[in-house]
A and B are shown apart, each in its own frame.
Chain A
Amino acid sequence: MNLIELIKQPWPWYVAGPLIGLTVPALLILGNKSFGISSSLRHVCAACMPANIPFFKYDWKKELWNLFFVAGILVGGFIAAHFLANPEPMVVHPDLVADLAKYGITDYSNLVPMQLMNWEALTTPRGFVMMVVGGFLVGFGTRYAGGCTSGHAIMGLSTLQWPSLVATICFMIGGFTMVNVILPYILSL
């Protein structure tokens, strides 16, 4: 197996995790920047619709680096999907496959479940909750919590901040509750 073929395989956690961890010192050494992604959503608000809200009245241009960073993530996603793509469908736990089949979800060709999240689905109750309500909770919740998985779970825990540990535990509680208790109802909509 040559190198390109190897790269095209799904990467195991022990390769991906350390590479993500290295983002923390990379950003610090490149320019004293704390790793965090959800702040980019705030900067977009500050740049596009500050509406005289104190929370959005700051010099967002000083935080421009963060928008370049997330633009890079988008470009990285494009490169990985178009030049380094794994041709095989995703391998998913058989119990999950059986479970999702009950809701008609059978397409594993994409990382995003195309049967749940697409433009047509947007007008259905299920698609609306999945994309619009879900997205709203992500944006509202991360800002209320003062960070997301990158800012709290990775940067915060790396600097041994106990409020970040509290936030991370709450992220997990919310996720477990949604997936195991609430999501079955949403998928049945």
Chain B
Amino acid sequence: MCVNESHIEHKWYDNLKYMVVGIMFGIVFVKAEIVSWFRIQEMFKLQSFHMYGVIGSAVMVGVISIWLIKKFKIKTIEGEEITFHPKTFNKGQIIGGLLFGLGWGITGACPGPLFAQIGTGATAIIVTLLSAIAGTWVYGFFREKLPH
């Protein structure tokens, strides 16, 4: 019993490191105006390079980082081997992708920016987030009947 309890305690504490990464991530989101509805409109109207620059350079840094992790067999801070989960293709990436794209164009936000927008004080975005959670739930409910 006691061992179990201390284990949970450790796990809870352990998660704070992800919160720190999230905080830094949220600051970048707001400071680079990625969470701005206006910047998303500019992106889809081809009026600004900003969002393309952000996503493009993020992917480049990501590709290089993953390459370095694989090449030097970098382990986690706890000495665990880093594993990757290959994604398998299904029709969801097309149908779901298009549906998300439509929602992205309306709300001007992906899931991450929704959290950051609420943090900035745009409290009405809580409704958008709750609706996104509802959308996820409805997907789960109809999952077996949807084409994949």
Interface residues of B in 123-141 (CB under 8 A from A): 123-125, 127-141
Contacting residues, chain A, for B11 (C-beta < 8 A): 64
Residue A5 is within 8 A (CB to CB) of chain B in the complex: no
Interface footprint category on A: 35 or more
Number of A-B contacts (CB under 8 A): 509
CB pair A113 B58 closer than 8 Å: no
A118 on the B face (CB < 8 A): yes
CA of A122 to CA of B56, assembled, Å: 35
Q: If A140-B138, A167-B93 touch, does A75 touch B32 (CB 8 Å cutoff)?
A: no
Which chain A residues lie closer than 8 Å to B50 at the CB level?
12-13
- Tell me which residues across on chain A come within 8 A of B32, comparing CB atoms: 10-13, 15-16
CB proximity of A5 to chain B, nearest CB, Å? 13
Within 8 Å by CB of B21, from A30, A78, A117, lies A30
Contact B131 A135 (CB under 8 A): yes
Q: How large is the interface on B (under 10, 10 to 19, 20 to 34, 35 or more residues)?
A: 35 or more
Whether the pair B136, A25 counts as a contact (CB closer than 8 A) is no
Are B137 and A108 closer than 8 Å at their CB atoms? no
B106 interface neighbour in A42, A137, A162, Cβ under 8 Å: A137
The 26 listed contacts between A and B (C-beta, < 8 Å) are: A12-B50, A13-B32, A21-B61, A22-B61, A29-B76, A32-B81, A45-B140, A66-B18, A72-B25, A76-B26, A76-B29, A80-B29, A95-B47, A112-B120, A112-B125, A117-B124, A137-B107, A139-B132, A139-B136, A142-B132, A145-B99, A164-B87, A166-B89, A171-B97, A175-B101, A178-B104
A residues engaging B (CB < 8 A)? Answer: 7, 10-34, 37-38, 40-42, 44-45, 49, 51, 53-56, 64-66, 68-81, 84, 90, 92-93, 95-96, 99-100, 108, 110-114, 116-119, 121-122, 129-150, 152-164, 166-180, 182-183, 186
Which residue numbers of B lie inside 8 Å of A, CB to CB? 11-12, 14-38, 40-45, 47-63, 65-66, 68-69, 74, 76-78, 80-90, 92-112, 114-125, 127-141, 143-144, 146
